[in-house]
Amino acid sequence: MQSRNGNIHLRSAGTSVVIDLAAPGFPAIIHWGEDLGELSESQLSDISIAARPQRVSGGLDNPSRLTLVPLESAGWQNEPGLVGSRSGQDFSPSFGLAEAQGSTAEDVNTASVRLRSVDEHAQLELQTTLTLDDAGLLHQQHTLTNIGTTDYELQQLLATFPVPQSARELLDTTGRHLRERSPQRHGFTTGRHVRDSRRGRPGADSTLFLAAGTPGFGFEQGLVHAVHLAWSGNQRVAAERTVAAHGLLQAGELLAPGELILGPGDRYTTPDAMGSWGDGLTAVSARFHESVRARPNHPASSRPVTLNTWEAVYFDHDLERLTRLADAGARVGVERFVLDDGWFRGRRDDTAGLGDWFVDDDMWPRGLTPIVDHVTALGMQFGLWVEPEMVNADSELARAHPDWILQAGGHLPLEGRQQQVLDLSNGAVYEYLLERLDALLRAYDIAYLKWDHNRDLLEAGSSATARAAVHNNVLALYRLLDELKARHPELEIESCASGGARVDLGILSHTDRIWTSDCIDPIERLTIQKYTNIVVPYELMGAHIGGPWSHSTGRRHELALRAGVALPGHFGIEWDISRLDDAELDELAAWVDAHKRIRELSHRGRAVYADLPDESADLRGVVSHDREQALFAYTQVTTSTSYPPGAITFPALDDDRVYRVSLASPTTPLEGPGQSPLAWTEHPVHLTGRALRTMGIQAPVLFPEQLRLIDIVAI
């Protein structure tokens, strides 16, 4: 950290953040982006002076600044960063900076600063921490402390990131069950664009990130800044442009009325709001991935190839059928076998049993021991599906403890998926779930829990406090996950939420992967995985091969497409492969082997997406950090207006190296009627990275919804 005359300069991994401590009302970020290099005292001072706005006619005598916490008391007349009061009083805080403490850790190239401010009249203390980590990702958190003698109701506390004037277009994501993280773009005009999530979890329709960039920015080009909120409950993400030429992104928890009352001495810390920037979305994504991979709890071992039983057997938990499925899994190279929904007391369909976390004696008279022993004897890990936060009305738990259910006004919320939600913030509920899950993990050799969350929250109040309880339930969930892992250090947990409705780096601080979507149709997955991957690296994204007929869309696809789309992720199978013959099993085993060959590359390398001019095709890949090797998947999504198609170009390679380009197995050349062999598939070519980036190679002629792998290796 470099500090001069009331200015702070944080530098790391090609990023600079300059903070003006003397901005009126609260410190302000006056630069976030490209590294400015070492700055002298006078240069830092001049940067601050150069950023000060002029007074204009019809405006305030002291023009407002975009600060880290913009406030009305400093002249900010747009959305304030902090909203709250003491029963309507002290509604407009005004902070004076008390101190700034910074540090830099040379060994990890990380810089941070903590700003402490106090409003003596409103009796509030605000601490803001800015950290620029070794990936150049900017983390921002605020801690508000009530230093008064009466309660303070906090309504909103948002992290604010400035964006440059060139940012004139917004990108975020929306979606639904089976179609999460679908991109949408908007002009970034004057006004406020808000994306709220009020579902008690981020939700299938929530935005994973909010990006602002130069018009038309893509994965390979265009200056772009983006924010992500690492939080698994209600949230608000917004972009705003003001008539005073301020552009900003904001992120924070969305609080219900009366949900967060700070008593004397109480404090609240916002979720980690993360900001990334770069020339193109691939550069933005790379900062997120590098930061996530540097976390101490990031999985260090190779991600096991997983077979999940859901689409294979659904609720048909017949031991003989399951053992045949496990045998087939071992035959093709599966490393983890997961028994999905249907194993616990009273569970014959999805209308009963949730909450009664005891093995069903009728279905499993010898407990889970037979299937666990069979799976582990085959050399595979055993995993189990659970949905601890939920309860069916038709369950022993709901009948015994109706007061354990989240509710408001003395009535239960409308049901979703024939179930309600438990109040984890109630200590009795927490202890019951901890005891039940711990007992299962002690009784059986369970290496993995598929932790599901299959409905949105409505009227999520605690019967113990009569207040909204989403905030406290998220914190209780985090504690429960951490406690189970502390008791069982080898345990891994997947976050599933009716597919991909709880995908964020908050839940991934306590779990080991997310289930990307319940839809494993590969055409749908192309988009879902692409935009999930902007924040979440491949090794944390569950990506499975479904059966030939998609259960969610009804489409049919060949194995090469289904497997090729899943190949770079946390790879698995969601398919009754016990019915396959030897030839079909050999073909599937070849794809499992292919994943294992490229697993290190996919889970450590840089994910890249080509901005192809022909939107009928998709080209994506992973490039090793030393740029020695790369694997790309080319998919003909729909028919093209060009026939044959034109050239495809490959980003992120070393311009000056020479690469061998060839078709990668298990895919093979495709020749249709009247079609000649493609030259470079017959004779691998050797081209520089510059030639591959600018000129490219002829795309193969494929039928719609076909995929081929392209291997690129430095020579």
Cα 468 from Cα 36, distance rounded (Å): 46
The order of strands in the sheet holding 706-714 is 606-609, 617-623, 629-636, 706-714, 658-664, 685-688
Strand partners, 631: 622, 711
Strands (E), 508-582: 513-515, 541-546, 570-574
Q: For the CA atoms of the chain, what is the radius of gyration?
A: 27
Cα 565 from Cα 594, distance rounded (Å): 13
Cα 696 from Cα 682, distance rounded (Å): 17
Cα dihedral angle (318, 324, 330, 334), rounded to 10 degrees? -50
Distance of CA 697 to the CA centre of its chain: 34
Contact between 334 and 307 under an 8 Å Cβ cutoff? The reply is yes
- For residue 16, give the 3-state DSSP assignment: strand
**Sequence-ordered list of residues with C-beta below 8 angstroms from that of 248, at least 6 positions apart, any chain:** 66, 160, 161, 162, 163, 239, 240, 241
Q: What's the number of CA atoms in the CB half-sphere (13 Å) around residue 688?
A: 7
Distance of CA 457 to the CA centre of its chain: 20
Contact between 526 and 615 under an 8 Å Cβ cutoff? The reply is no
- For residue 459, give the 3-state DSSP assignment: coil
Reported as type and span, the H/E element at residue 9 is strand 7-12
**Sequence-ordered list of residues with C-beta below 8 angstroms from that of 674, at least 6 positions apart, any chain:** none
- For residue 269, give the 3-state DSSP assignment: strand
Distance of CA 250 to the CA centre of its chain: 17
The residue among 709, 706, 559, 548 whose CA lies nearest residue 635 is 706
**Residue 227 exposed, middle or buried by CB count within 10 Å (0-12, 13-18, 19+):** buried
Tokens 């004779």 map to which residue? 683
For the annotated catalytic residues, the residue numbers are 452, 518
**Strand 706-714 to 570-574 pairing:** unpaired
**Sequence-ordered list of residues with C-beta below 8 angstroms from that of 229, at least 6 positions apart, any chain:** 235, 237, 251, 252, 253, 271, 272, 273, 274, 504, 506
Question: Which residue type, as a one-letter code, is found at position 197?
Answer: S
- For residue 114, give the 3-state DSSP assignment: strand
**Residue 216 exposed, middle or buried by CB count within 10 Å (0-12, 13-18, 19+):** exposed
Cα 406 from Cα 415, distance rounded (Å): 11
Phi, psi of 479 (to 5 degrees): -65, -40
Phi, psi of 686 (to 5 degrees): -125, 115
Tokens 């590098």 map to which residue? 290
Tokens 């470099």 map to which residue? 2
